[in-house]
Each structure stands twice: as structure tokens, then as C-alpha cells.
Amino acid sequence: MRCLDYMKITEILRLKEMNIFTYRDIGQSVGCSKTTVGEILSRCKECGLTYESASTMTQSQLNELIYPDTFGPKQVKDEPDWDHIHARLQSSRKINLQYIWENDYRPVNPDGYSYSRFCAKYIEWKKHTGKEVVLPQEREPGKELFIDWVGDKLSCVVDYNTGEVHEAHFFVTTLGDGSYPFVEAFPDETQLNWNQGHIDALEWYGGIPRVFVPDNCKTAVIHTSLYDPEINHAYRDLARHYGVAIIPARIVKPRDKATVESGVGWLETWLLEWLKDKIYYSFEALNHDIRERVVDLSKRKFKHREGSRESVFLALDKPCLRPLPMEHFESFITRIVNKVPNNYHVEYNGFYYSVPYRFYCQMVIIHAFAKKIEIFSKDGERIAIHTRRFNGQRYVTDSDHMPENHKTVVAFRSYDGKYYRAKANLIGQSTGTFVSRLLENADFEEQAYKSCMGVINFSRTYGDYRVEKACEKAIRLNSVTYTTLKNILRNGQESQGELANASDSDDPTPLHENLRIGEWM
């Protein structure tokens, strides 16, 4: 048997000790045959080797235990290694039989088959080994989750402030025989978003399958190979957290992921076409509509079988899923900011997130997740948490991070006409009318905000009663301005009109020395 590397041996032990995978499943996950899996486990059992103990050993230590015998040179075969040749052809579209014959076979076997005979022998081998027949795929309920990115992208997310248009990339999974779908839009296809898509998909399904079957993208597979794919380390960490085996789909003609391929085609028609002419101002709003649409689509009846995607999922797949762990898997990117600037906002990927102002000039550490930003002090204390931005306003500010004078300025800027009318009506009806006319008489409502604030602040100096009377007089004089109200209050004129009215009566003018009685009579 061939010698396996350290990672493959420990992965075989880990999956076996979970007691939920067959030898075939384990072999597919690590890239070897079920016979090799059985041989490795048998040798490990003989020497008492477990996953925990193997994790602490080096490659050389494992080799001494599992491969005590030395191996001689490989036996030269008369026939070419057709399995290896077939694997090479399947591994890349750039390789063909002529290339293999000229560069691999002929230099080692100068007296071997001619090119035409080499091709004929390969075709004959494929027929006898069944490489050209197609296996009907009948999915085991709740076992495999198929994962892919939709090839088409939509420019449907617009920055409300700048008008910049962002592309939406669609992460898609399908589960079980009914291909029950999950779809989520992301601004890009980075590792963080790939992992976050898996986390959100498992929450959507409400449980964990036994196997992830991803496409051969870089966020899943570092090196594609039919027999020995190298899984992305961040992706493997996620699989270990949830106790799932990763078995990438075969390359070139991946018939084993036909469900997700057909699901993607179905969603491109019924979801992407439905979204095509829509505009959204955030990915949150886009994903809200996507989920509602996917729920509706999943309820549609199958054309050639009973039930719907939703009914098959609820009846067959969901009962077979394992429960979710108590803690979610979270991966993030770390960035150190050596000095917080004087505006107490730190930058990540073009957006600025606030920290408490007292950390000005101090070092902080940013943890950037797929959907949130966490900021820590140099002592490891979390000092801020924000929803991660991909579009919209560049500054993301928590008002609790501001000093008091900044809070006052921001509060003032947030007041509008509705606020000033409400505050004025609390003083009195005439004050409410006065402020409403100030707002209405301005060319732009915002121009009157400072005057309105001044009117309301008069109540602190003169009291509500005097302000109400002064507003009433200014309205009567048809001079609704801040200056008029200020002069009335400063000179105490708000009650003079009442005294004048009180002196007006029908009583005769009293006699005095300056009155010329004759004329009056």
C-alpha cells in the first residue's frame, strides 16, 4: 500500500472515531480507497494509535509505527498504469492522451506502444472497467450538502450616498434528494464569505448533514485532484467544528453534484431573473427578499414527482440532520491599528468604525468577520462591535463612543421640523403656531432650525408663560421673526397690549387744570 502523509492518517482516525462514517466515506474525504482506510485503521489498532495520540506525533514517528517495513522499488509493469493516466486526464482539461504519451509514457518506455495503439488500449480499458457508464444518483436523506457559487452576478446593490453600484455574488447550497435550496448574496467570493455562507445555510436548514460536497473553488480546495485534493485549511477548520466530512465534487464532468448544478440553473431562471430589474441599497435588504422568494419557490410542486422541495425536505431530510452545536463557528481577519486618530474612527476596507474616544492615540486590534467588525484594546478587551459595511455611509459611529460635546452637536444636527414643532407645542399653542410659521416662511426648512431652537430656549430664560404671550403678540403684529420675539421679551412688551386695552372704556375723562371745559361741553 502507498504511504499516506500525516494529515491523511490523522483525518482517517478522526472520522473513524466519530462512528458515523463508512470506510468509503472516509476514503472519499481524504482521497484514498476504502481498502487503504481499512489497512490504516487495522495498523493503528495493532499499535494502539488514536487520533489524540497521533495529533501529537511527527510524520517520521507515525511512519515508524504504521510502516515498519521498508519498501523496495516499484515493479515495472508491462501495461501502463491506466488508473493514473485516467486520473491525470480527469484532473485538467489542458491534458490529453497525446501529451501523456509523449511526455510521460514514451520517454520511460521507448519500446512500448505506438500512439495509436496506446489510445486504443486506453479506450478498451475504459470499456472493461466501466468508466463510461453513468451511475444513477439516489441521495441519502440528510447526508450531503452540495455547495457552489452561481456563475452569474447581478449589479443590483447601489450605494445610496455615492450612487456606486456593487455586484452581488450568490452562494447556493442544496440538500438531499429534493434539492432544498439556500441562497445568500455577498459582495465578493472571499474565504470569510464562503465560510459564512455555510454557517448561515446550516442555520437555515436547522441541522448538520454528514458531508459537504463543494465545487473545486479556491475557498474550498487549494489543489484539485481526483484522488488527492488538498482542502483549504480555513474550510477544514469549519468542517471540524461542525463534525462534517469534506468530499469535493469531481472535476471536468461532475455528475455527483448534479443536484446543485440543476438547482443553480433553476434558481438562475426563477430567482435571478426575478431580481434582474430590482435595485437595493444594502445586502441585508437584498437577502431579505431572496429568502422570501426561495421560500415561495420551494413550495412549488414538482412536475415529475409528488410533493415539493419543501415537503421532501421536511419529511425526509430534516429528521436525518444532526443538531447544531451550541457555539457557532466564526472566522475572522486580524488587523492591528497602531494609533487611533483624533476622530476616534479606525479604517477597515474603506469604511471607518468608531471606538470610545478615550482610546485616542492608543493601539487597537480589529477582528473583521464576514458580517461584523469587533475592535479590541491592546489588553484584549473588546471595546467596540459594529455591523460590517460594504456600501453606504463610510463612517459607522456608536454615539456612546463620543465625548459629551460631540453628542450635543450630533443631536442638534438630527433635529428636524417635526421635532421643533413638537417642542414648541409643549410651551403653548401660540408658540407652536409661531414656530410653524418660521419653518414655512423659510426658503428651505433647514434655514429656520436655529431660529426655532432660539425660540424654544427662551423658555429657559423667561418661562413658558411669557414666551407664549410674546408669540401671541408677535402673531397679532404679523411680525413672526426671531428678532421681534427677542425684542418683545427683552423689553417686557408681551403684556403691554393688555394694559392698553384695559384703559379703553366709556367712562368720561376726569376734570383737570389743562382741560378747557367750554370746548368739551
Query: Looking at 320, 353, 377, which one is the last position of a domain?
Result: 320
**pLDDT 10s digits, 308-321:** 899 989 988 999 99
Query: Looking at 14, 41, 66, which one is the last position of a domain?
Result: 66
Q: 0.75 cut: is pTM over it?
A: no
Asked if residue 240 lies in contact with residue 195, where contact means CB atoms within 8 angstroms, the answer is no
Residues 6+ apart with CB under 8 A from 380: none
pLDDT bracket for residue 209 (50, 70, 90): very high
Query: Looking at 344, 371, 404, which one is the last position of a domain?
Result: 404
* 464 vs 90: which has the higher pLDDT: 464
Residues 6+ apart with CB under 8 A from 422: none
Asked if residue 214 lies in contact with residue 147, where contact means CB atoms within 8 angstroms, the answer is yes
**pLDDT 10s digits, 490-514:** 888 887 755 444 444 444 444 445 5
Q: Compute the Cα dihedral for 191, 192, 195, 198 and give only its sign.
A: negative
Q: What is the mean pLDDT of residues 213-236?
A: 74
Q: What is the DSSP pairing of strand 144-149 with strand 211-214?
A: parallel
Flag whether pLDDT at 99 surpasses 60: yes
Tell me: do 228 and 351 sit in the same domain.
no
pLDDT bracket for residue 229 (50, 70, 90): low
Query: What pLDDT score does 502 carry?
Result: 40
Q: What is the mean pLDDT of residues 229-234?
A: 74
Residue 77 lies in a domain: no
Of 34-38, 77-81, 130-134, which gets the smallest average pLDDT? 130-134
Q: Which domain holds residue 380?
A: 333-404
What does the block give as the cell for 205? 436548514
Asked if residue 435 lies in contact with residue 424, where contact means CB atoms within 8 angstroms, the answer is yes
Q: What is the mean pLDDT of residues 400-411?
A: 82
Residue 358 lies in a domain: yes
Q: How many domains in the chain?
A: 5
* Plot region of 138 (φ>0 → left; ψ -120 to 50 → alpha; else → beta): beta
Residues 6+ apart with CB under 8 A from 322: 207, 208, 209, 210, 243
Tell me: do 207 and 302 sit in the same domain.
yes
Flag whether pLDDT at 337 surpasses 70: yes
Whole-number mean pLDDT of the chain? 82
Tell me: do 375 and 462 sit in the same domain.
no
Separation of alpha carbons 269 and 258, rounded Å: 17
Q: How many residues does the chain have?
A: 521
Stated as kind and residue range, the H or E segment containing 354 is strand 351-354
Secondary structure of residue 329 in the 3-state scheme: coil
Radius of gyration of the chain (CA): 39
Flag whether pLDDT at 4 surpasses 70: yes
Asked if residue 282 lies in contact with residue 391, where contact means CB atoms within 8 angstroms, the answer is yes
Task: Order across the sheet with 351-354: list the strands.
Answer: 345-348, 351-354, 395-396
**pLDDT 10s digits, 104-129:** 888 888 888 888 888 888 888 888 88
CATH number of the domain that residue 20 is part of = 1.10.10
Flag whether pLDDT at 363 surpasses 50: yes
Separation of alpha carbons 99 and 79, rounded Å: 18
Query: What pLDDT score does 2 carry?
Result: 65
**pLDDT 10s digits, 33-73:** 888 888 888 888 888 888 888 888 887 778 777 877 643 33
Residue 72 lies in a domain: no
Secondary structure of residue 358 in the 3-state scheme: helix
Flag whether pLDDT at 382 surpasses 70: yes
Tell me: do 400 and 419 sit in the same domain.
no
What does the block give as the cell for 15? 472520522
Torsion angle, alpha carbons of 270, 271, 272, 278, to 10: 120
Tell me: do 110 and 59 sit in the same domain.
no
CA distances from 237 to 241, 244, 477 (A): 6, 10, 78
For 205-307, list the strands marked E by DSSP: 211-214, 221-223, 230-231, 245-246
Which of 349, 340, 355 is CA-nearest to residue 389?
349
- Percentage of the chain beyond pLDDT 70 is 86
* 514 vs 281: which has the higher pLDDT: 281
Return the bridge partners of 146, or none: 174, 213
Asked if residue 141 lies in contact with residue 317, where contact means CB atoms within 8 angstroms, the answer is yes
Secondary structure of residue 377 in the 3-state scheme: strand
Query: What pLDDT score does 138 carry?
Result: 58
Tell me: do 191 and 299 sit in the same domain.
yes
Flag whether pLDDT at 360 surpasses 50: yes
Residue 168 lies in a domain: yes
Which of 66, 76, 1, 79 is CA-nearest to residue 33?
1
Which of 55, 43, 48 is CA-nearest to residue 7?
55
Tell me: do 219 and 266 sit in the same domain.
yes
- For the chain, give the longest Cα–Cα distance: 156
Q: What is the mean pLDDT of residues 87-116?
A: 83
Flag whether pLDDT at 74 surpasses 60: no
Flag whether pLDDT at 293 surpasses 70: yes
Query: What pLDDT score does 225 carry?
Result: 61
Flag whether pLDDT at 224 surpasses 80: no
Question: What phi and psi values does residue 247 have, to the nearest 5 degrees?
Answer: -125, 95
Flag whether pLDDT at 463 surpasses 70: yes
Residue 515 lies in a domain: no
Residue 505 lies in a domain: no
**pLDDT 10s digits, 447-456:** 888 899 899 9
Tell me: do 382 and 455 sit in the same domain.
no
Residue 139 lies in a domain: no
Tell me: do 60 and 89 sit in the same domain.
no
Tell me: do 241 and 293 sit in the same domain.
yes
Tell me: do 301 and 356 sit in the same domain.
no
Query: What pLDDT score does 234 carry?
Result: 76
CATH number of the domain that residue 150 is part of = 3.30.420.10
Stated as kind and residue range, the H or E segment containing 171 is strand 165-175
Asked if residue 238 lies in contact with residue 214, where contact means CB atoms within 8 angstroms, the answer is no
Separation of alpha carbons 235 and 257, rounded Å: 19
Residues 6+ apart with CB under 8 A from 84: none
Tell me: do 250 and 337 sit in the same domain.
no
Residue 328 lies in a domain: no
What does the block give as the cell for 93? 482539461
Of 168-172, 391-395, 433-437, 456-460, which gets the smallest average pLDDT? 391-395
